[in-house]
């Protein structure tokens, strides 16, 4: 691994984001709860410390700001932006950016849309979709896997799960991109207006759909969300059904949390296959390994590299004092390569016995709501890649550049060549 220094470590440096793992490895060894500069900003890198922070949500809070606000939460003074935002619904902090007791209510109400029955019912659609996408490029013997497979698979799957008709799917992708842009990247004013327009369009479309499901219930996820009620409440528990702004916030989180993460997982898995031909041949020879391959790929790729936590009271983690008000990043990607939990942590081992102990979906109360759906989708994707794109190798034109992000890690593009199976 490259030799690096932690002096002046800047998590937002584009260069470090290309390959942060040597930095995390050094932090785990030397300063596992790493203070960035001398500010109130800490990076938590060891498996045990990450787990401890995830298990103490009363101190390590998720109330770090509402993603997906039209205009990125900024409307002050800009009348054009304020005008666009006023046509939509007010932002609400739900799941990812809420703490108990509000969070508990959201989880109970949303859980109904992600039952094993719902997820299993989507699998035949995912299989057909994966086949259709591979049909589109198989005969070429080459593809750019991000645009031709890893983006459309999750986007079209979620669109289908939410009942978006085929002729609105391009809009759906635009709304998803607008929601992601709204998370708070540095946007120009024009991009901010564009993102706000997309989010408002998304809100108006789904508000009408939710209203329709209220009157005409169907056997689908939107109806699950509209009809969700708290059953057997405990004394004093808030049993209010979800309001339209709350449902819209949740739907938006499904897009933001579910699309890019799955895209990045599938792409990175392909890179691992090419770089580890022997291990990949073992998985191809025994497809019963596929679910474990997905876990191992989640461990190594960890598309959501880390997540923010705001510290609610003075505390200590890994022997380091952290003051109230400090911001922490719980670095799942680093925990997943901690040799204390995973021997030979950087190696891709399809048979790894404890691959499933990874923290790529988090742990505790914010554990990924879509984990079973993401797993089902990744299993189908990996099966198709192994069986339909054998002899996978890198094509021309790869620069292996990753998206510039501290939180979401994924290749911008990946050109592959293969010997068509048919």
For residue 331, the minimal CB distance to ligand HEM (Å) is 11
Q: Are 194 and 84 in contact (CB under 8 A)?
A: no
User: Which residue from 362, 390, 395, 404 is in contact with ligand HEM, where contact means CB under 6 A?
Assistant: 362
Name residues contacting ligand HEM, limited to 278-307 (CB under 6 A).
303-304, 307
Q: Which is nearer to ligand HEM, 146 or 257 (CB)?
A: 257
Q: Which is nearer to ligand HEM, 191 or 315 (CB)?
A: 315
Q: Which is nearer to ligand HEM, 74 or 332 (CB)?
A: 332
For residue 63, the minimal CB distance to ligand HEM (Å) is 11
**Which position among 178, 283, 297, 368 bears the catalytic label?**
368
Residue written as token pair 């392909």: 270
Closest C-alpha to 174, from 184, 164, 189? 164
Q: Are 334 and 27 in contact (CB under 8 A)?
A: yes
Segment interacting with ligand HEM, rule: CB under 6 A, options 170-178, 230-238, 274-282, 365-373: 365-373
Q: Which is nearer to ligand HEM, 17 or 304 (CB)?
A: 304
Told to judge if 25 belongs to the known catalytic residues of this protein, a careful annotator would answer: no
User: Which residue from 253, 269, 280, 336 is in contact with ligand HEM, where contact means CB under 6 A?
Assistant: 253
The bridge status of strand 315-317 relative to strand 320-322 is antiparallel
Number of residues that bind ligand HEM (CB under 6 A): 25
Told to judge if 260 belongs to the known catalytic residues of this protein, a careful annotator would answer: yes
Segment interacting with ligand HEM, rule: CB under 6 A, options 196-204, 256-264, 333-341, 383-391: 256-264
Segment interacting with ligand HEM, rule: CB under 6 A, options 117-125, 176-184, 240-248, 252-260: 252-260
User: Which residue from 45, 261, 280, 334 is in contact with ligand HEM, where contact means CB under 6 A?
Assistant: 261
**Which position among 246, 260, 295, 383 bears the catalytic label?**
260
d(CA 356, CA 380): 18
Told to judge if 257 belongs to the known catalytic residues of this protein, a careful annotator would answer: yes
For residue 386, the minimal CB distance to ligand HEM (Å) is 18
Distant-in-sequence, close-in-space partners of 226: CB < 8 Å, separation ≥ 6:
210, 213, 214, 217, 242, 247
Told to judge if 262 belongs to the known catalytic residues of this protein, a careful annotator would answer: yes
Distant-in-sequence, close-in-space partners of 66: CB < 8 Å, separation ≥ 6:
73, 91, 92, 93, 97, 249
Q: Which is nearer to ligand HEM, 26 or 299 (CB)?
A: 299
Burial 110-140 (b: 16+ CB within 10 A, else e): bebbbeeebbeebeeebeebbeebbeebbee
Distant-in-sequence, close-in-space partners of 311: CB < 8 Å, separation ≥ 6:
59, 60, 61, 322, 323, 324, 325, 326, 327, 328
Helix then strand then coil, in percent of the chain rounded to 5, is 55, 10, 40
Residue written as token pair 């470590």: 9
d(CA 315, CA 296): 33
Q: Are 50 and 330 in contact (CB under 8 A)?
A: yes
Per rule CB under 6 A, is residue 221 in the interface with ligand HEM?
Answer: no
Please, what is the angle between helix 371-388 and helix 290-301, to 10°?
A: 110
Per rule CB under 6 A, is residue 187 in the interface with ligand HEM?
Answer: no
Binding mask 322-361 for ligand HEM (x = CB under 6 A): ----------x---------------------------xx
The full DSSP string for 215-256 is: HS--SSHHHHHHH----SPPTT---PPPPHHHHHHHHHHHHH
Binding mask 149-168 for ligand HEM (x = CB under 6 A): ---------x----------
- Catalytic center residues: 257, 260, 262, 368, 377
Q: Tell me which residues touch ligand HEM (CB under 6 A).
A: 62, 95-96, 107, 158, 253-254, 257-258, 261-262, 265, 303-304, 307, 332, 360-362, 366, 368-370, 373-374
């Amino acid at each position: 691994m490259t030799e690096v220094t932690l002096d002046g470590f800047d998590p937002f440096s584009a260069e470090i984001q290309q390959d942060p793992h040597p930095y995390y490895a050094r932090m785990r060894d030397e300063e596992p709860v790493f203070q960035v500069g001398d500010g109130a900003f800490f990076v938590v890198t060891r498996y045990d410390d990450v787990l401890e922070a995830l298990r103490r949500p009363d101190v390590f809070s998720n109330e770090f700001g509402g993603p997906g606000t039209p205009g990125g939460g900024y409307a002050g003074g800009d009348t054009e932006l304020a005008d666009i935002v006023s046509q939509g619904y007010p932002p609400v902090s739900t799941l990812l950016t809420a703490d108990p007791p509000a969070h508990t209510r959201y989880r109970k109400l949303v859980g109904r849309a992600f039952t094993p029955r719902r997820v299993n019912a989507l699998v035949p659609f995912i299989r057909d979709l994966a086949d259709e996408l591979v049909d589109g490029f198989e005969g070429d013997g080459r593809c750019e896997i991000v645009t031709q497979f890893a983006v459309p698979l999750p986007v079209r799957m979620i669109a289908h799960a939410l009942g978006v008709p085929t002729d609105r799917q391009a809009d759906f992708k635009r709304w998803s991109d607008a929601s992601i842009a709204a998370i708070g990247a540095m946007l120009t004013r024009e991009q901010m207006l564009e993102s706000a327009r997309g989010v408002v369009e998304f809100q108006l479309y789904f508000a009408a759909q939710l209203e329709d499901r209220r009157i005409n219930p169907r056997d689908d996820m939107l109806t699950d969300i509209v009809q969700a009620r708290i059953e057997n409440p405990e004394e004093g528990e808030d049993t209010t059904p979800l309001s339209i702004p709350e449902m819209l916030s949740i739907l938006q989180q499904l897009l933001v949390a579910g699309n890019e993460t799955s895209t990045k997982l599938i792409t990175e898995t392909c890179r691992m296959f090419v770089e580890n031909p022997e291990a990949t041949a073992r998985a191809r020879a025994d497809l019963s390994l596929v679910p474990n391959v997905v876990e191992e790929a989640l461990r190594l790729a960890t598309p959501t590299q880390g997540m923010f936590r705001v510290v609610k009271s003075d505390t200590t983690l890994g022997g380091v004092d952290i003051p109230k008000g400090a911001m922490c990043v719980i670095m799942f990607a680093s925990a997943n390569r901690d040799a204390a939990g995973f021997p030979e942590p950087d190696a891709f081992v399809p048979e790894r016995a404890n691959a499933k102990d990874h923290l790529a979906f988090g742990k505790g109360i914010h554990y990924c709501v879509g984990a079973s759906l993401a797993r089902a989708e990744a299993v189908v994707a990996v099966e198709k890649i192994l069986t339909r794109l054998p002899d996978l190798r890198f094509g021309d034109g790869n620069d292996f550049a990753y998206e510039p992000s501290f939180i979401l890690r994924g290749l911008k593009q990946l050109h592959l060549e293969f010997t068509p199976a048919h």
